[in-house]
Amino acid sequence: MAYKPPHARAHRVYKPGKRHMELMPSLSRSSGLDKDGDALRDRAVQEEYRAFIEGKVNEHWKRHPHGASGRDVDATKHRQEEQENILILFRKLREGLLATDRKDAFAVEVYETSLHLSILFRSDKQTTSILSHLLPHLYLARPEVPEFTHGALSTTLLSLFHHLLLGYPSQTRFHEHLHSLPRTFLPRDGAAYRWLAHLTHCLRTSNYAKLQELTDRGAFERFFEASTEASGGRGAPVRTGDHSDKPEGARQRAGPYNLALEAMYTLVEGVRAKARATVWLIMRSAYRELHCLPPPVNSSKTGAEEPSPTSEWLARSLALHSLGSTAADVNEMMQMVDEWLAQKCDQGEVKRKEGAEGRWIVCKVAVKV
């Protein structure tokens, strides 16, 4: 039987039943108010509380299988409230781990899952707070277990992209964080480091011709697969999300479900969106018109439909292809570009050229519609 402090053995949170976990007091907010507020100092209670949170997360995915999608304001508000509550539960648990100086596999799993969910739920403050405790301290706490260091690769990449996204277009935060980490976490002669170096150079130089290629899922997925295999032996008690209840986009992506990889998709999409805005500004300053008509069918040797060279260029340069899909066919690509230009038309940044189908006039100064 797990040890219980004498004054807390009769506390309701120690009694069997899930409903009592709802009453778990926070260590940081119960001091002086709740004499039994230190229940989360007990290791057995910490593990029971982790299983309780897991149930909450799985229920959330069942109710909101499409993540951030949807236009119902009330449903979106309810979803966000649920996500905030889940992050609060994890924060309570981390307080207990910090108070007991717990640095085993269980603690690493709790911090990693907290990190992944904070990214998926787009809580930048939580992400920054979690990273300050997780990297590099928890991974270096047990140097005799090599997979702890090897398993830090996915967390390292997530942390670097988090700082790259928050600081964009400046990369100062990114480089400061990179230099603060042990080189064993991201070897300078490794493929992951070379990919990051190429991507950050692309962003600095506005080399939008390489944007799609360097932010495609195939460019980084293998690093998360290798990290998962390396850390798989840690014996983490539970992993958030199973094959039936996955967050947005997980079902459309190949391979086994990986929460860290889903978090990386979210960050990469965020970097893409910011880079896309920069690329679009460059395009607006450089071009007066965009011609998005496909070439005549009879001009093709095969007779098959071909995309407009301009549409193909726009789709690649603006990285419009979704991370969760394979290469789009001609119709999908044309539709993506049309939707993008229609959105910019609504914002007054382009307008359709009268009497010329597929031609758009670029407005140097946005025109109010």
| Mean pLDDT estimate for the chain | 80
Q: For the ranges 107-116, 224-233, 324-333, which has the lowest average pLDDT?
A: 224-233
- Which range among 226-240, 297-311, 319-333 shows the weakest confidence by mean pLDDT? 226-240
Q: Given this model, what pLDDT does residue 209 score? A: 85
Indicate if the pLDDT at residue 85 is higher than 90: yes
Per-residue pLDDT of 334-362, as tens digits, reads 888 999 999 999 999 999 988 888 899 99
Greatest mean pLDDT among 22-36, 81-95, 214-228: 81-95
Give per-residue burial for 183-195: e unless 16+ CB within 10 Å, then b: eebbeeeeebbeb
Q: In what order do the strands lie in the sheet with 359-362?
A: 289-291, 359-362, 350-352
The pLDDT assigned to 22 comes to 78
Q: Mean of the pLDDT values across residues 188-193?
A: 95
Q: Are strands 289-291 and 359-362 parallel, antiparallel or unpaired?
A: antiparallel
pLDDT at 71: 64
When pLDDT is averaged across residues 38-62 and rounded to a whole number, the result is 92
Residues sharing a CB contact under 8 Å with residue 308, sequence separation 6 or more, in sequence order: 291, 292, 293, 294, 295, 334, 358
Question: What's the pLDDT at 152?
Answer: 85
Residue 330 predicted with pLDDT over 60 = yes
**With the C-alpha atoms ordered 263, 267, 268, 273, is the resulting torsion angle positive or negative?**
positive
What confidence score (pLDDT) does residue 305 get?
59
The per-residue pLDDT for range 252-279, each reduced to its tens digit, is 433 335 899 999 999 999 999 999 999 9
CB 330 within 8 A of CB 307: yes
- Which segment of 149-158, 193-202, 268-277 scores lowest on mean pLDDT? 149-158
What's the confidence (pLDDT) of residue 253?
39
Using one digit for the tens of pLDDT, what is the confidence trace for 137-152?
Answer: 888 886 665 555 556 8
357-369 pLDDT tens trace: 889 999 988 776 5
Region 30-44 average pLDDT: 70
pLDDT at residue number 314: 92
Rounded mean pLDDT of 292-296? 70
Provide the pLDDT for residue 332.
81
At residue 73 the predicted structure's pLDDT band, cuts being 50, 70 and 90, is confident
In sequence order, the 6+-apart residues with CB closer than 8 A to the CB of 90 are 53, 110, 113, 114, 117
CA 267, 268, 271, 277 dihedral sign is negative
Place of tokens 């991974």: 139
Which has more pLDDT, 226 or 20? Answer: 20
Q: What is the mean pLDDT of residues 112-136?
A: 95
pLDDT band at 158 (very low <50, low <70, confident <90, very high): very high
150, exposed or middle or buried, with CB in 10 Å at 0-12, 13-18, 19+?
A: middle
At residue 328 the predicted structure's pLDDT band, cuts being 50, 70 and 90, is low
Of 35-49, 62-76, 188-202, 247-261, minimum mean pLDDT range: 247-261
